Structure formats: C-alpha cells, structure tokens
Amino acid sequence: MSAEDAYRPCPACGSANAVPLPALAPPPWRIGRCASCDFVFLLNPVDYSALEQEYAWERTYVAEDVAREAARGPVRRLARRARVLGYKLRGQRAFRYLSLLEPGPTLEIGCADAVRVTPPFTPYGIELSKALATRADEKMRALGGYCLQGAGAERIRDFPDGFFTGVLMHSYLEHEVRFAEVLAQTFRVLAPGGRAFIRVPNFSSVGRRLHGARWPGFRHPDHVNYFTPGTLRRAVEHAGFRYKLVNRHKIWLDDNIQALAIKPAA
C-alpha cells in the first residue's frame, strides 16, 4: 500500500473521524486531528518493515538535519550551536534522566546503537533498525544486558512481568504507531513502583505555533504521533500509571514534553 492510499484510525481512541491538517505536512504525508479526542497524528505512516531499512533513522537523519540547518538562517544556527554546547558542558541528557529512575535492569526502547544506560543500571534495549540493533546488542551484552531487534510494540512482549526497575523512552513514542500497546506492556514489565521516563515533542509549544510546518518536531515519515501534555497524560493514565510532568515549570515554552509514568507500588 502506498503512502497516498494508507490510512489509520486514531491511535489514542480508535475513532475513524479525523480532521485533516494539510498545512503541517508536505505530500504524500498527511497529518490529522482526531475529532473525538483531539489527538494529532500522521494518518498514513509507513510499515515497520520500511522503517527497518528504507526509512531507517541512520539513513534519514543526516539528510534531514542538513536540510533543517540550511533553512534556519544564521541567527537560529548560532542559537542551536549554543544549545548543543550547553548540553555537552552539562553532560549527556539521557544520563541526567536516569537519575529519575531506580538502579537495576533498565530498558531503553528505541535505543539506536548508543548505550546510555550504564552501571548501576543494567542496559536492555529494543531497536527497530537492524544495523543499529546489532551494534547496540554487542555493547549491551558487555554490560550484562542485551538488545532485541524489532518493533517496540512486539519485542517488549519478550520480557517477563515485573523484570525492569525502569524504562527509558527518550524520543521514542512519537515514532511508535502502536503506542498504546507499548504503554500497556511497559506497565506489565515494570516492577511495582517502577518508573518510565518519556520524552516526546510538544505539539502545544509556542515554538510549534510560531514555526508551523518548519517546527523541528515534524519529521516525516518517522514521527507519527504529536502529543500535548494533556494527550500524553491521558495515554499514560489509561495504561494504569500515575503521571508526573517533569518540565512543568517551562512546558509552554519547551518544544519537548518530559514526563514520568509511575507504576503504583504493590
């Protein structure tokens, strides 16, 4: 099925009634807003198999980043470089997010080939790209864990109940067509009191409203879900978690949502 012909119902509530938002995506990609629950999503995502190779992250990221850099202009390019330098001076962001989780077996879904989970955390991963998963598996096995290749909604089922103390979904849920299944399975594989850290683009940010279709949170076709703090909260709570917004103090300005999904203690 071609991208022009594909269509999916709302991944949040299942409604087949979506209002098109044609100004937000170039053809053949189509973004819409659910008329029932207001969730914004890509109506015609590609199959998992295409994301494994043809549209694999490592094949599309560089070209997309070069195009975005050229379109920014000198002032915005300078501002971006200053932000990147700040990240380097403060250390890897993912390491800081680990401080929100309890040490122990920790799963990163959409891990690419990086190992951001280090002792006293034991790294486990799921990665869709075949090439990246192979490299991640080798690195994680050296630290006592391993990486599974495949779609997050499918491979997470291979882990036993209550196995993990933490789950890291850093820039992942926006990619996952079946995100509700992933959240339900995350609840299952977390031990009581376990936490999942979630970071996704913030569709309700000031930046998105100002930049329109040029907003960095749009990345076609691999970003298929566009969360707001409210729609993310509903999805997390529907899966049984308690929701905590980490960057609440600046959420209206922040292009990303950072949140914890906390499984109730037994």
Which pair of tokens denotes residue 92?
Answer: 């890897």
- Interval 117-137: pLDDT, tens: 999 999 999 999 999 999 999
Question: What pLDDT does 96 receive?
Answer: 78
What percentage of residues in the chain have a pLDDT greater than 70?
Answer: 80
Question: What pLDDT does 198 receive?
Answer: 97
Top pLDDT among 65 and 16 is at 16
- Interval 232-245: pLDDT, tens: 999 999 999 999 99
Order the strands of the 18-20 sheet from edge to edge: 18-20, 31-34, 40-42, 225-226
The distance from CA 110 to its chain's CA centroid, rounded to whole angstroms, is: 8
- Interval 177-205: pLDDT, tens: 999 999 999 999 999 999 999 999 999 99
At residue 67, does pLDDT exceed 80?
no
Question: What pLDDT does 83 receive?
Answer: 45
CB 221 within 8 A of CB 197: no
Q: Which fold has domain 18-262?
A: Rossmann fold (3.40.50)
Which pair of tokens denotes residue 116?
Answer: 């951001």
Q: What are phi and psi of 68, to 5 degrees?
A: -65, -40
If phi > 0 it is left, if psi is from -120 to 50 it is alpha, else beta; for residue 150 that is left
Confidence of residue 23 (pLDDT cuts 50, 70, 90): very high
At residue 163, does pLDDT exceed 80?
yes
Look at residues 174, 218, 163, 176 and name the one whose alpha carbon lies nearest to residue 200. 174
CB 174 within 8 A of CB 223: yes
Q: Enumerate the domain spans of the chain.
A: 18-262
Buried-state track 4-31, b at ≥16 Cβ within 10 A, e below 16: eebebebbbbeeeebeeeeebbeeebbb
At residue 164, does pLDDT exceed 60?
yes
State the Cα–Cα distance between residues 39 and 89, nearest whole angstrom: 36
pLDDT (average), residues 8-27: 95
pLDDT (average), residues 167-172: 96
Measured in Å, how far apart are the chain's first and last C-alpha atoms? 46
Calculate Rg over the CA atoms of the chain. 18
Top pLDDT among 53 and 233 is at 233
CB 2 within 8 A of CB 28: yes
Q: How many helices (H) and strands (E) does the chain have?
A: 9, 11
Question: What pLDDT does 249 receive?
Answer: 87
Question: What pLDDT does 93 receive?
Answer: 53
Record the pTM: 0.85
- Whole-number mean pLDDT of the chain? 86
At residue 149, does pLDDT exceed 60?
yes
Q: What are phi and psi of 97, to 5 degrees?
A: -65, -30
